[in-house]
Every structure is written in C-alpha cells, then in structure tokens.
Structure 1
Amino acid sequence: MDVHNAFLHGDLREEVYIKLPQGFTHSAPNKVIRLHKFLYGLRQAPRCWYEKISTALVKAGFVQSYSDYSLFSYTRGSVEIRVLVYVDDLVVCGNDGDAIRNFKIYLGECFRMKDLGKLKYFLGIEIARNEEGFMLTQRKYALDIVSETGLLGSRPAATPIEQNHHLASDSSPYIPEPASYRRLVGRLIYLANTRPDLSYSVHILSQFMQKPRERHMDAALRVFSYLKGTAGQGILLSSRPDLELLVYCDADWGTCPLSRRSLTAYVTLFGGSPTSWKTKKQKVVSQSSCEAEYRAMSIATREIMWLRQLFTDLGFPPTGMSCLFCDSKSALYIAANPVFHERTKYIEIDCHRVRDAIKSEVLTTAHIGTKEQLADLLTKVLGKVQFSVLLSKLDVCDLHAPS
C-alpha cells in the first residue's frame, strides 16, 4: 500500500516559519509565512509522520517490534497480520483475507492510501513467487545502472573483481571527478541488498570514496561488466518448512595492507535461504588469525541474537539452537574452553559473548572445511569455479538465465 502525500499527515507542533515563495508579492516585504502543515524538506516531517502511522497501527491493536521498529504485528486468536512500514510504503501480509481487507479499509479511513495489490515491486526489488518460494531480484535496477555507464555492449566479466587486485596500495593517478565514482559505488551498495556476491567488491570499492584513483574506477566498471551478464540474479527465499537458523562466519587476517586490520564476514541462512550477510573490517588489529576468527564469531553471534528475536516477532521462532560454522579449530576451542588465558587475555570482554551464548544453549558451534565455507565468498576473491559453487549453495540463481 502507498500513502499519498504522507508527510502532510503529520501534526505540526512547533512554530515553523518560511520565507515568501518566489513570485509571491506582498505589501510588507519583511513578512513570513507560518506553517500549519508539514512540507517535504522539513527535518521534523519524517519523524512526525512515523509517529502518526505508528499511533494509528497501535490503536488498531498492532504491537511494535523491539527488534525492528518498522515491523508491527497483530495477533487475535488464529488471525495474524504483519505490517512493514518504509516511509510511505506499507507491506501487509497475513493468514486471513477478510481481516486484511478490513485492515485496509481502516487505513483508508485514517489516511488517503492506494492499494497496489499483490507485492511485485518494492523499493526497486522485484518479487516473483511460485510453489518453491519467493525470488527477490533487482534486474531492472541493475540494467538501468549498467546502461547509464554505457557498458550494455561490453563483454561480461566472470567475477565482480579480479584476483590479486592490490587496490589498497595502488598508486595510479587520481581521477579528476570523484563524484562519478561515488555515484557508481553508491548504486552498488543498494544493489547489494539482494546480491551477496557483490558484498566483498562493494566493501573494497567503498574504502576509496574520498580520493579514488583510475585503477579504482576501472575496478568499479568491472563490477558493472559482471552485472551485465548477471542482471537477473537474486536470492530465493524457499518455502521449505525447515526453520533452522544456520550462520557461517569467516575472517581474513591482516588483509588491509595499510591498517593491517582483518576482514570479517558472515552469512545467515534461515530455512536454507540467505537472510542477511555482511562484510566489514574489524575495528582493531588482531594479533593472530585465531583472534581474528574469534572476533568474527562474536560479530556473527550478535546477528544470531537479533535474528532469533526478529523471527520470533514475525511468528516463526527458530527451532532448537542455531548453528555457527567456522573454519578455524583454534577459535572454536577458545569458544568452548575458557581456560586458554594466554590466547584470550588481550581480547575484549564483548568478544566472549560467544561463550555465553553457548552456555545458555542459544547456539552451538561446528567446524567446516574451507571449501565448504560460504562466508569465503564475502572475505576474499575466489576463482570462477569456486565462486559459482558457493553462489549455488546460497540459493543465488538467475531466473532469466538460459536453461
């Protein structure tokens, strides 16, 4: 559902004055206009609109989620409705068609709204559905940005970024217009919402936003060449009834040649489908690969705790303990055995949340081989074969690829 002129529905509580609009004449030139309604562009408008819509939903019996403040849940007997709010766009789902229709009528009485029907396109994300589940892609968005760069006729690249790139230590000349580079990388950041295969390359390219060089621009254009051949690629949210939460975490020790900080990445699978992923440089320098891997486990544990609460608010609590996979045996030993003082006395206390989660039976840890580590896709540049294998295991596929 879409709200017409959403910000105009907000209640203006402060006194706000604006200058006379251009072309409007008045006998007193020093007069100003006092607003009685919000206008687009005011800093208070988004906050007041959110307060207005959340108040209307709570009045209708919805409960706001503490895990995600944009999620509202309604449960009465066997009737369940979930509403996700993004500014003036609402996604409504539930298990009772009559209850959803009555709720839409209620929203129409509160605000001027438009019912857009079944969810097919939302914030640039295309949704296709069948008996296997939901397919989320950004094909139109990807083709649009590839077309704007003039690479529709280029030869598609096999991987987003080349191996042994050494972009951090590159010394090629600076590009004269860095705004063009920032615009390209900014579009890639949004595209990574449904493309875990872009997570590592976007992380690398985002480090040079301030002063990009020619080699950095070439690397960004290579990503668009890769998109040209995989524009329809997306993630499949499977309809399998399995509600097990699996998390793969990995770290690349000392990967940054400038700061010597390690790279951390994780990917979470709920019911066998990827739900969240992240690639980020660690905040401190790790003294060993074991410490870097243990920090990666700690960051992944935080994501597990949040996802378990979020899925519970959605009405789908994970069954049993969540499993955290790591390819470092030494990090797993540290998580299971708190006696290793010599190895852990330099690690911050917040990293030991892994031990607490294991002790409280929230998660369990397991070792996995390097070739089976799905998070490798997010921490380093892989060859074409291994890259394709890990993508297929993540249920990343292309609906428009020839069969």
Structure 2
Amino acid sequence: MVTIRCLLSLALMNGWCLIQLVVNNAFLHGELNEKVYMSLPPRFGSKWESRSKSNFTRLQGDSFITLLVYVDDILIASNNEEFVYAFKTLLHNEFQLKDLGHLKFFLGLEVARSTKGIFLCQRKYALDILKDIGFLGIKPVSSPMEQQLKLSKSEGSLLPDPSVYRRLIGRLLYLTLTHLDITFSVHALSQYLAAPREPYLHVAHRVLQYIKASPGQCLFFLATSTPHPKAFADVDWASCPDTRRSITGFCVFLGESLISWKSKKQQTISRSSAEAEYRSMAAAVSNPVFHERTKHIELDCHLVHDQLQVGLIGTLHVPSAHQLADMLTKPLAFSSFSVLLSKMGIIDIHSPS
C-alpha cells in the first residue's frame, strides 16, 4: 500500500493520468484438461523479497507508463494518454478487461480528486465495520485511546470466544491503510491476539467509537507538492509493561504528502533512551529505501551514522509539540492529538463543518 500512496503522490506532482482496469474472471483464463497439484517453490512469498513484483514500468522516448497489479485489479499511471490507450488495446487482445476510467475506487480505497489534490479514504469500509458490530448508533469519542493507558498480557479475564476479537482487530488493521490516527492503538491491541482478554475488547470498542466520530477521515495528497522526502521519528522508551521494550513510531512524507508510517515495538530492550531513539531513527531512515519486509545489510543502528557521514540524510531536532511521530508511540491528549492530525494532511471531507 505504500507503493499506491507513493504513486498517487508522484502522479499529482507530475500531472500523470490515473486509470483503473479490472480483468474479468481472472482465475478462469487458464485452460486445464486435468487436475493439477502444486507445491510452493523455495523462498516463494519470502518476506525478504526486495522488490515489488506487482509494479511494472515502461519507458518509450518521452512517454512513461507504470502498472500496479493486484490479482485482477490494475492501476495505470502515465504522462501520455495515447500511450495508455495503445497499452489498453494490447491488453484487450489477450484478456477480457473492464475499463473503469479515471481512478475512483481501488482495493477498498476511495479516491476523490479536487483542483488542490487527491483524497484517499475508507469511509465505506469503516461504516461496514460499525454496522457489522452494531455500533452505528454508538456515542463517538474524540481520541482512539485514553491517555496514559497501558495494556498488560495478564490483565482481566480471557474472552470466551477469541475469534470475535481477532476478526475485529484484523479489520481495523486494514483500516490503518488510511487511518494513521488509529495505528498506535491497533498495533497495541494486535499484540494480544493469541490470548485476548476483556479489557482489550473494551479498548477496541473505544477505537470504534473514535471511528464513529469521523468515518470519512482522509489522507490528502497535495498537487503542488515537491518530491523531497522527509521523515519524523520518535520513541517511547521502555513503555511496554510486559517486556520493557520501547515503541518506535515514524512517518515519511514525499513533499507534503504522507506516504508511509509505522508503530512497532522494538525487537530488543534498549538500555537508554538515546539507544531507543537511535533505533527509531534507523527504522525511519531505512524505510524510504527498503520497504518493511526487506532484509537489508545495514542491520545495526550505525546505519544512521553512516548515511549522515556521506550526506544522504540530515537530522534536525523536533520539539515535542511539533513531533508528528509522537502519536505513533503513545496515547495523546485530544488537544495534542488533533493538532498533530491537522499537520499531517488528515482531514474529514464528509464532516458538516
């Protein structure tokens, strides 16, 4: 999904057209006369894959076209509409395709365009979750988690049916594709899928109450932005009550458009806040170059130091009041939470105000 957000941002900056296609009956094109059994080849689906195999690009003179393919959904971006037409004709000769025109809905993501940029949201998906849980009439709240709340793996009684909790968290995880504001809360709740307890479900229900307040909250990609990356990194040192590991949070912008973010417990215990901050910076620095499932060589924290030395990155101190990644490391008070959201280009286009 980082690839999609990055492509949308680049398309806006460069004035590319965005077209969507769907392959009809994608799984029925193969002609089989007998039963076929398959075993997965070595390293198939390896999390260490270093490239996006769903992204294809072609250059021909001054014309440029790139495709994102997800099973039967295809997203095309190009600087030449005639090139796109020729390519669609080529595909039509091989497959039965449905041309959906300019991008409006892709993989559950709703896309709206204006003269100022693109809005990306999951309003329908959010409302479907509330409807299925029976929370359409629930009282909304202003933040997804109470400030200073700490969850523990031994707190409260076990849920009689853990599948309810697991399914809810799974759906909320998909909602974080556009809802950075619930990322920390859902990350915290997802750590207890093996043995979910009553208090965790209550916190998950509060997240739903927050979603009820603004189901149409969107990521905004600014059309006049410039393709200069910048990242914010923060850490909550030794904040996990069960392991005393630190929580890393970072967010990456391409110009003024938010394209990537993460809230994650660090893999090792940091002996000082400085060490924890260093690891958080390493995560942010590697993210724009390697996606999160990539195994890269520079595994230790000296990655930051090395890239500073050669001038690939620069660092600046960010005061707490302006640290955008702060909301990815801990629950915040509504006053701080709302200010940070507004600075990250997250707005509710369906709000009556």
Query: Normalization by structure 2: what TM-score?
Result: 0.86
- Alignment of 1:397 with 2:347, yes or no, is yes
Q: Distance in 1 between matches of 2:114 and 2:151?
A: 42
Deviations 1:88-134 (A, max 9, x none): 11001111111101100101112121111111111111000011111
Which residue of the partner structure matches residue 30 of structure 1?
Answer: none
Q: Secondary structure at the match of 2:281?
A: helix
* Structure 1 position 370 matched with structure 2 position 320: yes
Larger Rg computed on CA atoms: 1
- Equivalent residue for 1:154, pick from 117, 125, 138: 138
The worse-fitting range, judged by mean Cα deviation, of 165-174 and 89-98 is: 165-174
Could you tell me which of 213, 219, 231 is aligned with 1:235? 219
Q: Which residue of 1 aligns with 2:23?
A: 3
Give the conservation status (yes or no) of the 8 Å contact 1:170–1:215.
no
Give runs of aligned pairs for residues 63-102 of structure 1, distance below 5 A. 67-102=51-86
- What is the CA-CA distance between 1:241 and the residue it aligns to? 3.7
Alignment match, 1:310: none
Percent sequence identity over aligned pairs: 43
Measure how far apart 1:153 and its partner are: 0.9
1:293 pairs with one of 277, 292, 301: 277
Structure 1's 367 and 92: CA in aligned 2 closer, same or farther, altered over 3 A? same
1:173 aligned residue: 157
2:35 alignment partner AA: L
Q: Following the alignment from structure 1 to structure 2, what is the Cα–Cα distance between the partners of residues 180 and 272?
A: 38
Alpha-carbon displacement from aligned partner over 1:3-55 (angstroms, at most 9, x marks no partner): 1222333587xxxxxxxxxxxxxxxxxxxx8337x9xxx777xx99x9xxxxx
- Does 2:306 match 1:356? yes
- Equivalent residue, structure 2, for 1:35: 35
1:260 to 2:244 alignment: yes
The letter for the 2-side match of 1:286 is S
The question of 1:248 aligning with 2:232 is answered yes
Q: Structure 1's 380 and 356: CA in aligned 2 closer, same or farther, altered over 3 A?
A: same
Query: Across the two proteins, how many residue pairs are aligned to each other?
Result: 323
Is the partner of 1:380 in helix, strand or coil? coil
Indicate whether 1:386 and 2:336 are aligned. Answer: yes
8 Å CA contact 2:151, 2:241 repeated in 1 = no
Q: How does 1:51-200 map to 2 (within 5 A)?
A: 67-168=51-152, 171-200=155-184
CA distance in 2, matches of 1:242, 1:349: 30
Matched-pair contact (CA < 8 Å) for 2:178–2:218: yes
The answer to whether the Cα contact below 8 Å between 2:225 and 2:256 also exists between their aligned partners in 1 is no
* SS of residue in 1 equivalent to 2:100: coil
TM-aligned CA deviation for residue 216 of structure 1 = 0.7
C-alpha distance in 1, partners of 2:289/2:277? 19
Structure 1 stretches lacking a partner, 5+ long: 13-32, 51-64, 308-347
Structure 1 CA distance for aligned equivalents of residues 84 and 97 of structure 2: 15
Name the structure, 1 or 2, with higher relative contact order (CA <8 Å, separation 6+).
2
Is the CA contact 2:153–2:192 (under 8 Å) kept in the aligned structure 1? no
Q: Which aligned pairs between 1:17-28 and structure 2 lie closer than 5 A?
A: none
